[in-house]
Structure 1
Amino acid sequence: MHDAAYIKRRDEIRTYFDRTALEAWKRLTSTEKVSGVRATVRAGREAMRQTILDRFPADLTGWRILDAGCGGGVLAIELAHRGADVLGVDLSPQMIDHAVEGLPSIRGGGSVTLRAGDMLAQDLGDFDAIVSMDALIHYDARAAERAIAGLAQRTRRKMVFTLAPRTKPLAVMHVAGKLFPRGDRSPAIQPVAIERLITATLSRPDMADWQARMPRRISRGFYISEAQELVR
């Protein structure tokens, strides 16, 4: 059962992407020229996507993977090319419609299924692995901990996800975003004390058989995010 704070935040994010951000997101994830700020975000996201892919073997035949907060589906597609059967879930129905329109043919025997919904929904089933790139960064530490623990109960091998570190530059950007809101700005990122969050998560009784691997931080201008890997 989701708590009220999680549901409120989830619905804010869905509303933002469905009503405000889709066109800006299309430009960001395309190959067309973008502004200097968006160019750093694009470069950061590309580096982070490769960082996540590097945590997986080249052959994922037989793996079932959840891409939680899949956006345009790029990461899901890359995992499917390695042979995985990937379910991509995103809160925004319009984002999913856009992603489905651009789905390529999958090589390597894998598959991609995209659907709109809540990444924590129990009816999604169980998975060998879960990836979540820049979805948990919109939730505070308490909600993120609960989400990670909830996802872990349905995961057999590993989870690779990103969090926004509580750094001075990111804190400044976060405050500026609140003071000077614009219609095309994404929902406020929630920087967290990552080491404390991971320690608290792994200290839960329901996370007793999980352990953390070495994280990796990506910092490209206005993009600052840290990849975490938890394994059984």
Structure 2
Amino acid sequence: MADYHATRARVEDYFDRSATKVWERLCSDAPVSRIRQTVREGRDAMRAMMLARLPGDLSGARILDAGCGTGLMTAELARRGAEVVAVDISPQLIAIAQQRLDPRHAAQVRFSAGDMTDEALGSFDHVIAMDSLIYYRAHDIGAILQRLTLRTQGKVVFTVAPRTPFLMAFFMAGKLFPRADRSPTMIPHAYEDLAKVTGDGLARVGRIDSGFYISECLEFRP
């Protein structure tokens, strides 16, 4: 998984070096630009779509929030009664998520800065990975899903950037004009290509298209 580790290092560097403040503001009630407002609304809609794939009452369930960011998904999972392992590669985002978590749910959540596939995190009933696989190539996504499902009894609900003309234009522009700040490049995927590397068990859930936020929800059950 050499590609995976190289990409993970770029994403970690990007979020801890230059993107933390942007995401802290985006994932809050603070005023943002019109473009970022469409992203915020899109992410809110996607979070609701993903949560709808899990039972309303998660009491007693152990859930991995893989790529928890500032903790919005973690907080909702805890409100539903889940025991949550919230992991993110960015220690700064983990710190924000810890600060924002309602103290009433603190005992239900274990925060961890590191790799979402780390076996030391334990086993789970379900896994949610919102926008945390969008920088990886298809073969890496397949490998990540295989590693996660070995320790997951239920489903892995995750998002990818769909292969649309709009997103492909951005992707190709990034390849033609590499970014000097080493920010990671989101990689669009066709569902059929992902199905080839994941095998049976991959299913479409739905797509959110909100301004500059375009994301597809999928789920995987071996």
Q: Of 138, 141, 145, which aligns to 2:138?
A: 141
Q: Deviations over 1:70-89 (max 9, x none)?
A: 10111011011111100000
1:72/1:182 Cα in 2 relative to 1: closer, same or farther (>3 Å)? farther
Whole-angstrom CA distance in 2 between matches of 1:129 and 1:151: 10
SS in 2 for 1:215: strand
> Contact between 1:81 and 1:106, CA under 8 Å: does it hold in 2?
no
Matches within 5 A, 1:55-70: 55-70=53-68
Q: Of 82, 85, 89, which aligns to 2:83?
A: 85
Matching of residue 152 in structure 1 with residue 153 in structure 2: no
Matching of residue 132 in structure 1 with residue 129 in structure 2: yes
Whole-angstrom CA distance in 2 between matches of 1:163 and 1:26: 22
Equivalent AA in structure 1 for residue 187 of structure 2: Q
Question: How much does 1:229 deviate?
Answer: 1.7
SS in 1 for 2:153: strand
Partner in structure 1 of residue 22 of structure 2: 24
Whole-angstrom CA distance in 2 between matches of 1:230 and 1:12: 26
Q: RMSD of the TM alignment (CA)?
A: 2.0
Question: How much does 1:182 deviate?
Answer: 7.7
Matching of residue 50 in structure 1 with residue 40 in structure 2: no
Matching of residue 71 in structure 1 with residue 69 in structure 2: yes
Question: How much does 1:193 deviate?
Answer: 1.5
Equivalent AA in structure 1 for residue 219 of structure 2: E
Q: Deviations over 1:157-191 (max 9, x none)?
A: 111111111110111223345537486x9621111
Q: Deviations over 1:127-171 (max 9, x none)?
A: 000000000011011111111111111100111111111110111
Partner in structure 2 of residue 169 of structure 1: 166
Partner in structure 1 of residue 216 of structure 2: 226
**Identity percentage of aligned residues:** 45
Question: How much does 1:112 deviate?
Answer: 1.6
Question: How much does 1:28 deviate?
Answer: 0.8
Equivalent AA in structure 2 for residue 122 of structure 1: E
Question: How much does 1:110 deviate?
Answer: 7.6
Q: Of 185, 197, 201, which aligns to 2:198?
A: 201
Matches within 5 A, 1:104-143: 104-106=102-104, 111-143=108-140
**Structure 1 residues not aligned, in runs of 5+:** 204-210
Whole-angstrom CA distance in 2 between matches of 1:168 and 1:147: 26
Q: How many residues align?
A: 221
Whole-angstrom CA distance in 2 between matches of 1:159 and 1:79: 15
SS in 1 for 2:87: strand
TM-score norm. by structure 1 comes to: 0.88
TM-score norm. by structure 2 comes to: 0.92
Moved more, 5-14 or 212-221: 212-221
Q: Deviations over 1:55-110 (max 9, x none)?
A: 11111111100001110111011011111100000000111111111111346x98
> Contact between 1:132 and 1:160, CA under 8 Å: does it hold in 2?
yes
